[in-house]
Chain A
């Protein structure tokens, strides 16, 4: 967590989201690459469109479109590496902890016994980058417990481990 801490004396703002004694596993840095490429692909079209429109029409005002797109792209380039670094998970005896976010932080505690199913997903770009996304589902749609950017072997290991633990602590709803 590289976020500046709250200035109030005696408190440590980051501590709530970073309890000691929890060994956080980071996600793969390849996630940064994949996300940046994905964002680049999405932004390329409006950027190119804006440039073409500005050049063809000759209106100086139209350059605002590619400028805005470029600014968004730069912002993403700054934010995504930090987001990826902020993402972490920890397997404990009875539950899985997932934390994420830089501006808007969340820390989710999912008990293994509450897991209904586990998804492992990998899109074409993810596969190219050699990463996969593991998502836990409970009976609640509010449970936002996804870990993107795992190397496939780790994703498979985590999936099997979660499934095994969920089965061991299985209970209805």
Chain B
């Protein structure tokens, strides 16, 4: 890496080694617990023969090694921020110099593990879309320092000018809390989960086995099941405790966590796909869970909470969460559309969705009449599932690529599946078992929609808009360049997009596909195709 000429290099907080040094011991302890958990008798024998002395010595040595290493690592860690990028140098034996461009930032998290929290420290995690372990992690900083650096990075990424006399520091973006999940609701949602059934079954079985066999050791065979279910539930509870979502001009703010607290900021236009789902046991309460794909967060296990936009909420809250991501659904009257998207289908009443044909009942006897899609001006809505209801929303401009697939059985029944490829995450959008001609038309139209929407809006827009806001706040209105779409400074306006014309006629003429009109809820205004075509410089 070539070092930028002027970045000021900083060290992370000197207490960092004291927080990080425990890691070695924690790993050791985890291994020990794992081993002992399965062979508790042998472990007792081992300690019985060698005594506690060697065990204590090993623990002490590991602790010392951990702290010494952490101290050296601290000395080797330096970071810097300039207007273009954030730089991080780390590593003791294997050195690493990492540069992350600010205009490629996908999300910024302030993470406080329990121990760091006690010291008033926090880790700043700057997520970029580079696959697993691509984040720039500044650990640890003072909590207020981390907050301030986050504001600075977001402001710089958004293109807000500061460092001048009237604005010496990065402006703190105002935020408005929109959603909060109470502890009672969270516990209620976990009680109505499948994991609790496994946990109870495992515990009952363990007790029965212990009573019948008159030996406590026999029950240990069921320990993994109980631990897995219990661990899952605890992970959900601890991770999603005190969940709050707020809206601010620099993105969606999510705060949650019992022991490890996490404060996430996802800038506008960084959410690639949304899933609203309802477990079977939640239906009577009409509770929903909202998850998102963000390029930086990547593929995560079920337990991790980075990709959760709302752990549990009633229908209004879930739709509010969706609104945070996609304020403009592109439907004339969104509420009936969304109600149909969440709970509609199955042959009851009028259904704006295009569902699987009746032939698909052989492949999906339960949900075929619910599985379906709806196209609005801004997004594709995919509804599926009868027992676990699910709605996936993909904004047109976030579609990576589209595919059509058909197996031998599907071919016999004349159906095909349309897949939308999104960045790694919990949401994998696909419309299953559509009628062939419908699927074929959806494929090409969706590709065209993605292209036109793409040409109209990009992540860069966020910066332009905020720059315009900043300009409006500081500069005279007369001197300002007229903006096509005026934005109020207080209310965050995430990316207004010109209506994208799907141009179905053109596409069909091009590909000669059977004519199937997409069920667009409101007709987009006719837009000249030229205005949306990206300029392609011919070499």
Contact = CB atoms under 8 A, between A and B. Distances in A.
Of B398, B400, B405, B536, chain A has the most CB atoms within 10 Å of the CB of B400
B439 to A, nearest CB: 7
Contacts of B539: 164
Contacts of B458: 171-172
Interface in B197-242: none
Contacts of A110: 401
B407 interface: yes
B152 interface: no
Contacts of A113: 451, 454, 534
Interface in A87-118: 94-95, 103-111, 113-114
A173 B428 contact: no
A109 B446 CA distance: 10
B437 interface: yes
A107 B441 CA distance: 12
A100 B11 CA distance: 53
B422 A104 contact: no
Nearest to B539: A164
Contact of A17 (B272, B406, B419, B512): B406
Interface stretch (A77-85, A126-134, A140-148): A140-148
Contacts of B443: 107, 109
B292 to A, nearest CB: 14
Nearest to B296: A173
B340 to A, nearest CB: 27
Contacts of B537: 168
B401 A13 contact: no
Contact of B104 (A19, A114, A172): A172
Given A16-B404, A105-B406, A139-B400, A173 B511 contact: no
A43 B414 CA distance: 36
A107 B512 contact: no
A2 interface: no
Contacts of B404: 16-17, 105-108
24 contacts: A3-B411, A11-B414, A11-B436, A13-B411, A16-B404, A17-B406, A17-B440, A19-B513, A20-B511, A22-B511, A105-B411, A108-B401, A111-B451, A113-B534, A138-B400, A142-B400, A142-B428, A144-B403, A145-B401, A171-B534, A172-B460, A173-B270, A173-B295, A173-B423
Given A106-B403, A143-B400, A145-B401, 15 more contacts: A11-B414, A11-B437, A13-B436, A16-B436, A16-B439, A21-B511, A94-B451, A105-B404, A106-B405, A107-B405, A108-B404, A109-B443, A111-B451, A139-B400, A168-B537
